Amino acid sequence: MIEILREPWPWYVSGPLIGLTVPVLLLIGNKSFGISSSLRHICAACIPANISFFKYDWKKESWNLFFVFGIFLGGVIAAYFLSNPNPVEITAKLSAQLATYGITDRSGLMPKELFSWESLMTLRGFIMIVVGGFLVGFGTRYAGGCTSGHAIMGISNLQWPSLVATICFMIGGFFMANLILPYILSL
């Protein structure tokens, strides 16, 4: 059993399991699935400033904080007890392409040449980690939610803004992966 948990699950198992969270949340308590709103709840609970965006009854949404904590705890358990010691499997073509950018270490989940403290001090690392993190946060706030909230919850509720946001997320992802990322990796 432990070996099954250590292997990557196919899309046709993990996808429906993620998709089933939507009706479960709706049936249990008429709750919406989404992760980005939890940051607002944390800020409302911890920041006593007089900011109108954080003035609401965050305690009604405390279930979301437990949900996010459960995701975090599941990630910690998976990393320490269920991690696969083998290198991440990628195609030979992608491996050769990454090697042209100097990315050869595949010993962890993320390449150390891109995601490490040493990498952060380079222009490429700063753009990938700091600028990328800012853009993700800004885009999440601007779109009124994250990809999981819009793509999983919003589309399943037939919300037009979520469909538009998800299409924009996909177009932006394709544009970034195929046009901008190769330029950043070559820095």
Q: Has residue 72 got a pLDDT over 90?
A: yes
Answer yes or no: do 75 and 125 share one domain.
no
Answer yes or no: do 79 and 153 share one domain.
no
In a domain, 95, yes or no: no
Answer yes or no: do 138 and 181 share one domain.
yes
The predicted pLDDT at position 164 comes to 93
> DSSP H helical segments within the chain, as ranges?
2-6, 11-19, 21-29, 37-46, 62-81, 92-100, 117-120, 123-126, 132-143, 147, 155-156, 160-175, 181-185
Answer yes or no: do 121 and 73 share one domain.
no
> Measuring CA to CA, which residue among 40, 16, 56 is closest to residue 156?
16
* The pair of three-digit structure tokens given for residue 186, joined into one six-digit string: 């070559």
For 127, the domain range is: 116-186
Answer yes or no: do 120 and 173 share one domain.
yes
For the segment 128-144, the average pLDDT, to the nearest whole number, is 89
Q: Has residue 138 got a pLDDT over 80?
A: yes
Tell me, yes or no, if the pTM score tops 0.85.
no
In a domain, 93, yes or no: no
Higher-pLDDT residue of 119, 1: 119
Answer yes or no: do 181 and 129 share one domain.
yes
In a domain, 107, yes or no: no
In a domain, 89, yes or no: no
In a domain, 97, yes or no: no
Answer yes or no: do 79 and 120 share one domain.
no
For the segment 73-78, the average pLDDT, to the nearest whole number, is 91
The predicted pLDDT at position 174 comes to 95
pLDDT in tens, 27-64: 888 887 778 888 888 888 888 778 888 888 888 888 88
Percentage with pLDDT > 90 across the chain: 29
In a domain, 24, yes or no: yes
Q: How many domains does the chain divide into? A: 2
In a domain, 108, yes or no: no
Domain boundary, last residue among 66, 83, 100: 83
Can you tell me whether residue 60 is helix, strand or coil? helix
In a domain, 20, yes or no: yes
Q: Has residue 14 got a pLDDT over 90?
A: no
